[in-house]
Structure 1
Amino acid sequence: MRIAMVGAGYVGLVSGACFAEFGVEVRVVDTDAARIAALREGRIPIYEPGLDRLVADNLRDRRLSFTTDLAAAVRGADAVFLAVGTPSRRGDGHADLSYVFAAAEQVARAAEDPLVLVTKSTVPVGTGRRVQELVRRVRPDLDIAVASNPEFLREGSAIGDFMRPDRVVIGTDSERAREVLRRLYRPLYLIETPIVATSIETAELIKYAANAFLAMKITFINEMADLCEAAGADVHDVARGIGLDGRIGRKFLHPGPGYGGSCFPKDTLALARTAQSLGAPARLVETTIAVNEARKARMAERVIAACGGSVAGLAIAVLGLTFKPETDDMRDAPSLAVVPRLVEAGARLRAFDPAGMENARALLPAAGIEYAAGALEAAQGADALVLLTEWNEFRALSPDRLRAAMRGDVVLDLRNVWDPAAMREAGFRYHSIGRP
């Protein structure tokens, strides 16, 4: 089979490389000529473990190719996937669908034979029908079947998520589109992956509902962490106690400074706005958004309070800048709320992140922040240390070595990666989330 993937961003690149690994001939098309040139040379513009090898292997075996020529990519394709961005629209929080509609129109105009047009991008319910109307208007002479096939890729483990997913969702009212997608996903049928075949609208809503529910789960345990601190309880025991209930489950019950990333913030906001526009407001989702934003802003105040009420003139080490480990993604990361506030309060920051510092430099204040080559270098001479992202290499840091490197003794572990007893024994005034 042959497919085209429109968009060489995170979703398009990972999905295209994984489909190629399934044995499909994949052409990834993008308007960014520099990005396409880099990909042809095997240079990956994003950080995702294992993606460089997957791309290199499939480039070598000629199952994967990259181009800026959309017409050439579409020619002869059994299916064309739209994997373009849907950022939050400025002003109202709705998803910006202009890239989706522009790409759909371009594909329709370029198509020479009947094909299946699949929305891989995360789009609000109702978008697929609008795409369907658009392509019928542009090409009334051609049978273009429309489907929704949302992605469920977690940054840092996206390849495993694609190759061994919890489920595959196929939304379409076209039997031809359904059959093409079943053939594409045949390797997953063989390992008995659940396939959810449904309508376009339902498939679109499944994606948003899944992300909103996970965001609410994170926000819930964060509020329970605050309650644990006030009551002298331990949030980890609470999380384990409720997570053992099969109706709740253990995942996403890890307290921290708030969720971020490319999906949860924009998808919860888009779902809330869509629900409002349809007259069925999602109050839980709206509250989740407000609580999460307030939490990220409040984390800097926790740091200031732990330092005696003022950080003016203090040297503070910051470990971790990305929104989660195993990615270089800085979108809506808690660090974007915490770091500027500390700089504004007069602190001098030295930061280290294993993958995100290049992206961080473009988003964080140029003044007041120095970037270190490693965690211990960041901690050298610091009056206080703040851990924002739970990279594994930070978990392995020796408390004694940290204490020897630092001038002060204040540590704020906003991901609860260190053992409180060990940190206290090393001489730290140790603060964590939701633990007595």
Structure 2
Amino acid sequence: MRIAMIGTGYVGLVSGACFSDFGHDVVCVDKDDSKIAALEGGVMPIFEPGLAQLVERNVRGDRLSFTTDLAAAVAEAEAIFIAVGTPSRRGDGHADLSHVFAATREIAEALKRPAVVVTKSTVPVGTGDEVERIIRETAPQAKAWVVSNPEFLREGAAIEDFKRPDRIVLGTEEEEAAEMMREVYRPLYLNRAPLLFTSRRTAELIKYAANAFLATKITFINEIADLCECVGADVQDVSRGIGLDNRIGSKFLHAGPGYGGSCFPKDTLALLKTAEDHQAPLRIVESVVKVNDARKRAMGRKIIQALGGEARGRTIALLGLTFKPNTDDMRDAPSLSIVQALQDAGAKVRGYDPEGMEQARPLMPDVEFCDSPYQAAEGADAVVLVTEWDVLRALDLQRLAISMAQPNFVDLRNVYPPEDVLAAGLKWYGVGRMARS
């Protein structure tokens, strides 16, 4: 099939590259001339493992191309995906749909043949109805079906998620549209990926409900971790004990500094706004948002407590800055709140991240960025593991201990066994477990 992917951000670029790897003819469209030029030169705008190689392979195979000419791409396409950004709108937390609707108008003006117009962006319930209205108003003679097809891609594992999905949600009740979407995803037939057809509004809500539920699991285990510290229990064992229950499952039950990234923060806020607009309050999700925001700030206080309650004049090394491993995404990363809390307390902060420092620099003024975790630790009063990158999972703890001014090791991801840290001559502080020295 001929596919036009409108937007070359995280979702659009990964989806477009994967569709082309299935054998479809894909054109990715973006208004940013420099971004398109970079992509044509093989330079990726984001870090995602395997993406550069995937793009290069399919460009070389003439299945994937990039352009700023939306009209030309849409005119030939049988399936047109809208994958533009929907950030939180300032002031009220609602998803900003201006890019979605602007793209819809341009698509409608360029339609030359029957096509499905698919919202891949995360959008509130009812957005597909407005997209359809805009198309009917702008191009009343056009034959187009509007489908909701939310993405479920984890940053750092997006290609695997796209090619081997748990499910593919397709929101349409029109058989012509359903048949076209079956053809789009036909290459996944051998993987037995279930196609879940629902109404369009249901599909839109599934995406928000999924992210809110996962955010709730993270926040729940983080609060249990706080209780564990108070009563002398071990959150690692609690997580394992409840995760072995098939009704609960073990995923997203790892205590840490709180969730961040491009999805959970904005999607929970957008879901709350939708609920408020329809007088159907979601009290659990409201609590999740508040608790998570407070937790990220509390991690700064936890680090200060490890220093004996005084951070002024101390040097603290943060290892891992992005909101999760295998991405350079700094959006709503816990490290941002931690840095702010430490600097407010008078500490000098150093930072190291394998991929995220370029994105972090403008967001973290007065942080000293280092070329390695060991450079960051040199003369530091505390080393803090914030993001569990693979390259940070097997540090030479003795080397850290020798180079540090004070032997405080704060593991906000519970990666290191306390006995290993203690054996290296360091004091150990984890999350949801009793400190040991």
- The TM-score bracket by the shorter chain reads over 0.9
Q: Distance in 2 between matches of 1:249 and 1:383?
A: 38
Matches within 5 A, 1:265-304: 265-304=265-304
What TM-score results when the alignment is normalised by the length of structure 1? 0.99
Structure 2 unaligned blocks of 5 or more:
none
1:396 aligns with 2:394: yes
Contact 1:352 1:374 in 2 (8 A): yes
Give the secondary-structure state (helix, strand or coil) at the position aligned to 1:75: helix
Q: Which residue of 2 aligns with 1:316?
A: 316
1:373 to 371, 378, 384: 371
Contact 1:146 1:174 in 2 (8 A): no
Q: Distance in 1 between matches of 2:27 and 2:335?
A: 36
Q: Distance in 1 between matches of 2:200 and 2:412?
A: 40
Give the secondary-structure state (helix, strand or coil) at the position aligned to 2:73: helix
Structure 1 outlier segments of 4+, above 3 Å: none
CA distances 1:139-164 after superposition (whole Å, capped 9, x unpaired): 11111110000000000000000000
Q: Distance in 2 between matches of 1:350 and 1:57?
A: 39
Q: Which residue of 2 aligns with 1:15?
A: 15
Give the secondary-structure state (helix, strand or coil) at the position aligned to 2:318: strand
Give RMSD over aligned pairs. 0.8
Q: Distance in 1 between matches of 2:211 and 2:31?
A: 29
Q: Distance in 1 between matches of 2:172 and 2:224?
A: 40
Q: Which residue of 1 aligns with 2:382?
A: 384
Matches within 5 A, 1:25-64: 25-64=25-64
Q: Distance in 2 between matches of 1:142 and 1:427?
A: 71
Give the secondary-structure state (helix, strand or coil) at the position aligned to 2:5: strand
CA distances 1:237-294 after superposition (whole Å, capped 9, x unpaired): 1111110111100100000000000000000010011011111111111110000000
Contact 2:148 2:204 in 1 (8 A): yes
1:177 Cα deviation after fit: 1.4
Contact 2:78 2:113 in 1 (8 A): no
Contact 1:208 1:271 in 2 (8 A): yes
Q: Which residue of 2 aligns with 1:161?
A: 161
Q: Which residue of 1 aligns with 2:223?
A: 223
1:241 aligns with 2:245: no
Q: Which residue of 2 aligns with 1:413?
A: 411
1:87 aligns with 2:102: no
Q: Which residue of 2 aligns with 1:423?
A: 421
CA distances 1:292-312 after superposition (whole Å, capped 9, x unpaired): 000001111111111111111
What TM-score results when the alignment is normalised by the length of structure 2? 0.98
Contact 2:55 2:64 in 1 (8 A): yes
CA distances 1:46-105 after superposition (whole Å, capped 9, x unpaired): 000000000000000010000000011111100100000000000000000111011011
1:349 Cα deviation after fit: 1.5
Q: Which residue of 2 aligns with 1:181?
A: 181
1:398 Cα deviation after fit: 2.0
Q: Which residue of 2 aligns with 1:126?
A: 126
Sequence identity (%)? 61
1:410 Cα deviation after fit: 1.1
CA distances 1:308-341 after superposition (whole Å, capped 9, x unpaired): 1111111111101000000000000001101122
Please tell me the residue identity of whatever aligns with 1:415: R
Give the secondary-structure state (helix, strand or coil) at the position aligned to 1:197: strand
Please tell me the residue identity of whatever aligns with 2:183: R
Q: Which residue of 2 aligns with 1:306?
A: 306
Give the secondary-structure state (helix, strand or coil) at the position aligned to 1:342: helix
Give the secondary-structure state (helix, strand or coil) at the position aligned to 1:28: strand
Q: Distance in 1 between matches of 2:385 and 2:128?
A: 42
Q: Which residue of 2 aligns with 1:66?
A: 66
